[in-house]
A and B are shown apart, each in its own frame.
Chain A
Amino acid sequence: MKISLNHLKNYVEINVPAEELCERMVMAGFEVESIEKQGDNLVNVVVAKILKITPHENSDHLQICQMDVGANEPVQIVTGAQNIKEGDLVPAALNDSYLPCGVHIVKGKLRGVESNGMLCSGEELCLTEADYEGASVNGILILKDTHPVGTDMREVLGLDDYIIDFKITANRPDCNCFLGVAKEISVVLGTEFKAPKPEYKTAGGNINDYISVEVLNYELCPRYIGRIVKNLRIGQSPVWMQKAIIASGMRPINNIVDITNFVMLETGQPMHAFNYNDLADKEIIVRNARKGESITTLDGKHYDLNEDMLVIADGEKPSCLAGIMGGRESEIEDDTNDLFLESAKFRRDNIRHTGRALGIRTEASGRYERGVDIKNVEYAAERALQLIYELDAGDIIDGCIDCNKGLPEDRIITVSTDKITELIGVEVPDEKIVSILNSLGLETTISGNTITCRVPSIRDDIEGRADLAEEVMRIYGYDHIIGTPMRGTVVRGKLLPERIKANKIKSVLIGAGAYEIATYSFIGSKSIDTLMLSQDDPRRNQIKIINPLGDEYSTMRTQLTTSMLTVLATNINKKIGEGRFFEISKRFIAKSLPITEQPDELATLSLGVYGKDEDFFTLKGIIEAIVKVFGAHIEYERSTEPYLHPGRQALIKANNKEIGTFGEVHPSVSAAYGIENRVYTAEIKLDVLFTIEKRKTTYKPLPKFPAVERDFAMLVDIDTPVGEIEKAISSGAGRLLEKAELFDVYQGEQIPSGKKSVAYSVWLRSQDNTLSDVEIDDISNKIIKKLENIGAELRK
Chain B
Amino acid sequence: MQETLKEIVNAAKEAVAACSDESQIENLRVQYLGKKGQLTALLKQMGSLSAEERPKVGALVNQAKQELEELISAKKQELKIKAQENKLNEETVDITMPAKPVKTGKLHPLNTVLDDMINIFQSMGFDVVDGPEVETDYYNFECLNVPADHPARDMQDTFYLGENLLLRTQTSAAQIRTMETRKPPIRVICPGRVFRADEVDATHSPVFHQIEGLVVDKGVTMCDLKGVLEEFAREIYGSDTKVKFRPSFFPFTEPSVEVDVTCSECGGKGCRVCKGSGWIEILGAGMVHPNVLRSCGIDPDVYSGFAFGIGLDRLTTTRYKISDIRLLFENDKRFLEQF
Contacts and interface: CB of A to CB of B under 8 A. Distances in A.
Chain B's interface: helix, strand, loop or mixed, by majority?
mixed
Interface string A66-85: 00000000000000000000
A493 B124 contact: yes
Interface stretch (A257-265, A465-473, A625-633): A465-473
Contacts of B207: 520-522
Nearest to A494: B127
A490 B247 contact: no
B304 A423 contact: yes
Contact of A515 (B126, B256, B330, B333): B333
Interface string B313-331: 0000000000000001111
B249 A172 contact: yes
Contacts of A352: 149, 151
Interface stretch (A154-162, A403-411, A445-453, A475-483): A475-483
Contacts of A26: 246
Contacts of B290: 464-466
A113 B126 CA distance: 77
B249 A483 contact: no
A441 to B, nearest CB: 17
A546 B255 contact: no
A548 to B, nearest CB: 7
Interface string B102-134: 011111101100000010011111111110111
Given A510-B106, A545-B161, A601-B134, A581 B245 contact: no
A567 interface: yes
A456 interface: no
Interface in A546-592: 546-549, 553, 556, 567, 570-571, 574, 576, 579-582, 586, 588
A474 B221 contact: no
B247 A29 contact: yes
A458 to B, nearest CB: 16
B76 interface: no
B227 A486 contact: yes
Contact of A598 (B134, B200, B222): B134
Contact of A599 (B103, B134, B226, B251): B134
Interface stretch (B23-31, B40-48, B55-63, B152-160): B152-160
A597 B166 CA distance: 10
A170 B251 contact: yes
Interface in A591-630: 594-599, 601
B151 A369 contact: yes
B94 interface: no
B244 interface: yes
Nearest to A553: B206
A466 B307 CA distance: 14
A490 B123 CA distance: 10
B265 interface: no
A554 to B, nearest CB: 10
Given A493-B121, A517-B331, A518-B108, A474 B247 contact: yes
A546 B161 contact: yes
B122 A493 contact: yes
B98 interface: no
A513 interface: yes
Contacts of B223: 424-426, 481-484
Contacts of B336: 515-517
Given A483-B243, A493-B126, A601-B134, A521 B255 contact: no
A473 B221 CA distance: 13
B104 to A, nearest CB: 6
Given A424-B222, A521-B133, A510 B161 contact: no
Given A543-B161, A545-B167, A487 B106 contact: no
Contact of A495 (B122, B133, B219, B221): B122
A327 to B, nearest CB: 25
Contacts of A27: 246-247
A467 B245 contact: no
A272 interface: no
B127 A493 contact: yes
Interface stretch (B12-20, B64-72, B191-199, B266-274): B191-199
A423 B224 contact: no
A483 B226 contact: yes
A570 B103 CA distance: 21
Which of the listed residues A422, A470, A489, A512 has the most CB atoms from chain B within 10 Å of its own CB?
A470
Contacts of A482: 223, 226
A561 B297 CA distance: 42
A16 interface: no
Contacts of B128: 493-496, 499
Interface string B279-304: 00000000101100000000010001
A516 B221 contact: no
Nearest to B102: A513
Nearest to B184: A488
A608 B217 CA distance: 46
B257 A478 contact: yes
B223 to A, nearest CB: 3
A398 to B, nearest CB: 38
A353 B153 CA distance: 13
A660 interface: no
Interface string B159-173: 111110101000000
A583 to B, nearest CB: 8
B229 interface: yes
Given A425-B222, A481-B226, A567-B331, A516 B106 contact: yes
A512 B105 CA distance: 7
A473 B148 contact: no
B248 interface: yes
Contacts of A599: 134
Contacts of B200: 549
Nearest to B154: A170
A197 to B, nearest CB: 31
Contact of B162 (A485, A548, A596): A596
A422 B110 CA distance: 37
Nearest to A478: B245
B16 to A, nearest CB: 46
B317 to A, nearest CB: 13
B304 A422 contact: yes
B122 A473 contact: no
B141 to A, nearest CB: 13
Given A478-B244, A519-B329, A595 B256 contact: no
B125 A517 contact: no
B228 interface: yes
A481 to B, nearest CB: 5
Contacts of B219: 422
A171 B132 CA distance: 28
B332 interface: yes
B173 to A, nearest CB: 11
A150 B126 CA distance: 69
B212 interface: no
Contacts of A556: 134, 161
Given A172-B249, A598-B165, A547 B149 contact: no
Nearest to B108: A516
Contacts of A171: 152, 249, 251
A479 B224 CA distance: 14
A473 B247 contact: yes
Contacts of A422: 219, 221, 304
A728 interface: no
A664 B163 CA distance: 40
A426 B222 contact: yes
Contacts of B142: none
Given A488-B217, A545-B160, 7 more contacts: A173-B151, A348-B151, A422-B304, A479-B244, A486-B124, A510-B107, A601-B132
The 3 closest A-B pairs by CB, nearest first: A425-B221, A349-B149, A425-B223
20 contacts: A425-B222, A466-B300, A470-B255, A473-B247, A473-B255, A483-B228, A483-B231, A493-B124, A495-B118, A496-B130, A513-B105, A516-B106, A516-B336, A518-B328, A543-B161, A545-B161, A545-B167, A567-B331, A570-B330, A596-B162
